[in-house]
A and B are shown apart, each in its own frame.
Chain A
Amino acid sequence: MALCDYLPALLCKFPALSDTTIRAGRKTIDDGFRGFVRSYSSIIDAAVQPLQVFLNYLERLFVTSPWPIILIVMLVIVYLGSRSLRVTIGTALAMYFIGLFGLWNDAMVTLAMTTVCTIFAILLGIPIGILMARFDRVQAVVNPVLDVMQTMPSFVYLIPVVMIFGIGKVPGMIAVVIYAVPPMIRLTNLGIRLVDKEVLEAADAFGSSGWQKLKNVQIPLALPTIMAGINQTIMMSLAMVVVASMVGVGGLGKNVLGAINNQFFTVGFLNGFALVAIAIIFDRTSQAFGKRLQKHSEVIHG
């Protein structure tokens, strides 16, 4: 402060707008926004309702099914995906400990949410990626949007979503999908654009239609890259499902949030480890699956 004693006030305190101006401006925008949301609230609710029902249903399905069934289904999926006994046994152990420490239901809620969000992100991301690869114009428009989305801290997503949709599963899901979809879009686009020009030309030379080219050449050859996108999307979904506990998404993330707020060291740790375990399961399985898809694309002979 010493230096400021000798300097004019203007240089020491940043010349901010006056409090009244800011308050007035803020009030106008907030009121306008709130009014807008209020007047459309019935439409928004109606649009969101089926999603809400679906999410509730799925969560119940995960939580209320007998645990052995869930575990077996999970192990089968993991084994089919990874074809690795190690990963499968690791999964069984991880799930065993999660259950042992009483976190089974919370883990199921998190799993349900992550699964739904990932599926939505894939269903949304792949078509957009295909369009981007097909039309340079679309790419020119979508790329900067993705740049903004990816540089924005994950918390910031929650603000507009909560403003419009309120608190709950659906806004949580929307935030997660928006957060997790960019890698899906980007890698689909990239994968298709990197498809060998000669092979595409061959498809053309034999008279393929646009759809035949997409189905027979572009998607299959881009699949390893698309799988890398799916892997990233899964990991980002999981991370964001945890953050979305701040807007009312339940599960392990909610426990972590509670632990932070109340300094419950053990609870925080256990839930944190459960999340890490789930993340590793997802990652290993989807990566191993992606690798297997690539088997025949590797060039052995010149």
Chain B
Amino acid sequence: MASHAIEIKSLYKIFGPRGADYIDQVKAGLSKTDLNAQYGHVLGLQDINISMPAGGVMVVMGLSGSGKSTLIRHINRLIEPTSGEVLYDGVDVCRMNERDLRDFRRHKTAMVFQKFALLPHRTVVENTVYGLEIQGVPAAESEKRARYWIERVGLSGFEHHYPNQLSGGMQQRVGLARALTNDAEILLMDEAYSALDPLIRVDMQTVLLDLQKELKKTVVFITHDLDEALRLGDKIAILRDGRVVQQGTGQEIVLNPADDYITAFVKEVNRGRVINVETIMKPLSGNPEGMPIESGTVLEAAARAMTAAGQSNAHVVDAAGRPAGALALDTIIAAMVTPTSHDEAQRAA
């Protein structure tokens, strides 16, 4: 089962009864505010172009109302686009007929929801088999697979509990188990962890990361939390008013925020956990000094190692163990301190 990339190409969504009538004007530059004021339609998404990496975690981030849910619902077409394409394995999801779409949803995608969306009258097992049940997989087989995933998400012993007997974190584990039992290549998670307490949330992130190491699904993860985005995302896209304002790796975004909106996001982030040593290392002048530090180490870990060793200088070594650059504790600390504005961030980077 190889996952494929999801290609989203010039996707537009205009909410309202006659959305298609205004698409040309929107493409010509009619703004969200004007569209709403003049025609009473809501511009949900405009000109979205994202290539979501195969077998990786794509995080879509933005404030509430920025269009994240709208975007993720285009991937399994719970929302019809006004124009544009969503390509998976060369097929445009937006052009599928009803049957193909249902098959695509059954076999290729699984979704986890912010408010869990479990069936309250069904037990944990009964909820978990849902996807297989509607595919017509025999009960014994689907229950076996469901039990496996219930165990993997850490819910053993709760198989016969009802959702309302579980805490929020446990309910979302059921949501995750339900999605994983489907054995789909694409995993869609719409603010799946936003309703959880911070500690449980970090727990669940770990669960996802661990599973993802072996499963290598194409995950689309929605969040409004930058720390979560940076922890999970192989690639991050930031939405604002239905438009992608920046996309790239977490490090690229933190070091190089595209505008003040993103700078504001990035300001509170713990940069020491995002930026890698090779990003700030200086070229080697002469022999490598101090202790060796592997490239790919984040600043915080490097600083901890150097402080523990009582050294103020170190050098970065690449995967083969060759020295690649020089590192000083004060440069590390300077890079970990948050620049205060967009311009400063630019200069610092």
Residues of A within 8 A of B (CB): 196, 198-199, 201-209, 212, 216-217, 220-221, 223, 296-302
Selected contact of B120 from candidates A207, A208, A221, CB within 8 Å? A221
When the two chains form the complex, which single residue of B78, B103, B110, B195 contacts A204, counting CB atoms closer than 8 Å? B78
Give the CA-CA distance A301 to B104 in the complex, in Å.
34
Contact B121 A206 (CB under 8 A): no
- Select A206's contact among B118, B134, B164, beta carbons within 8 Å: B134
Say yes or no: A199 contacts B119, CB within 8 Å. yes
Are B166 and A301 interface neighbours, CB within 8 A?
yes
> What residue in chain B is nearest A196 (Cβ atoms)?
B117
B70 within 8 A of A: no
Are the C-beta atoms of A202 and B111 separated by less than 8 Å? Answer: yes
B24 to chain A, nearest CB (A): 30
Contact with A along B159-185 (1 / 0, CB 8 A): 000111111100100000000001000
Assess whether A206 is in contact with B167, with CB atoms less than 8 Å apart.
no
Residues of B within 8 A of A301 (CB): 164, 166-168, 171
Asked if B131 is at the interface (CB within 8 A of a chain A CB), the reply is yes
Closest approach, in angstroms, between the C-beta of B74 and any C-beta of chain A?
A: 12
Please provide the chain B residues from 95 to 110 with a CB less than 8 Å away from any CB of chain A in the complex. 102-107, 109-110
Do B120 and A296 touch across chains, with their CB atoms under 8 A apart?
Answer: yes
On whether A206 and B119 interact (CB within 8 A), knowing A201-B78, A301-B167, the answer reads: no
With a CB–CB cut-off of 8 A, which chain B residues contact A223?
Answer: 121
Report yes or no: B164 in contact with A298, Cβ–Cβ below 8 A: yes
Q: A206-B130, A220-B121, A296-B164 are in contact. Are A198 and B106 (CB under 8 A)?
A: no
Q: How far is the CA of A299 from the CA of B111 in the complex (A)?
A: 22
Collect the chain A residues with CB atoms within 8 Å of residue B109's CB. Answer: 205
Pair B110/A206 contact, Cβ less than 8 Å? yes
User: Is there an interface contact between B167 and A207, defined as CB atoms closer than 8 Å?
Assistant: no
B115 at interface by CB-CB < 8 Å: yes
Count the A-B residue pairs with Cβ separation under 8 angstroms: how many?
76
> Interface size bucket, B side?
35 or more
Q: Tell me, in angstroms, the Cα distance from A204 to B76 when the chains sit together.
A: 9
Residue on B with the closest CB to A224?
B121
B131 and A206 contacting across the interface, CB-CB below 8 Å: yes
Q: How far, in Å, is A56 (CB) from chain B's closest CB?
A: 40
- For the complex with contacts A206-B105, A207-B103, A223-B121, 7 further pairs of A-B residues with Cβ separation under 8 Å are A201-B113, A203-B130, A205-B76, A206-B131, A297-B120, A301-B168, A302-B195
CB–CB A198/B117 < 8 A: yes
Contact of A207 among B105, B119, B166, B195 (CB under 8 A): B105
B156 to chain A, nearest CB (A): 20
Question: A300: which of B105, B164, B188 is its contact (CB, 8 Å)?
Answer: B164
Q: Are B121 and A296 in contact (CB under 8 A)?
A: yes
Docked-complex contact B162 and A296, CB < 8 angstroms: yes
Checking B104, B121, B164 against A299 with a beta-carbon cut-off of 8 angstroms, the contacting residue is B164
Q: Is the CB of A207 within 8 A of B121?
A: no
Give every chain A residue within 8 A of B131 (Cβ-Cβ): 206-207
A-B CB proximity, top 9 nearest: A207-B106, A207-B105, A202-B117, A205-B111, A198-B117, A296-B162, A206-B131, A207-B102, A300-B164
**CA distance in complex: A199, B168 (Å):** 16
**Of the candidates B76, B120, B134, B165, which one forms a contact with A216 in the assembled complex, judged by CB atoms under 8 Å apart?**
B134
The residues of A that contact B346 with a CB separation of less than 8 Å are: none
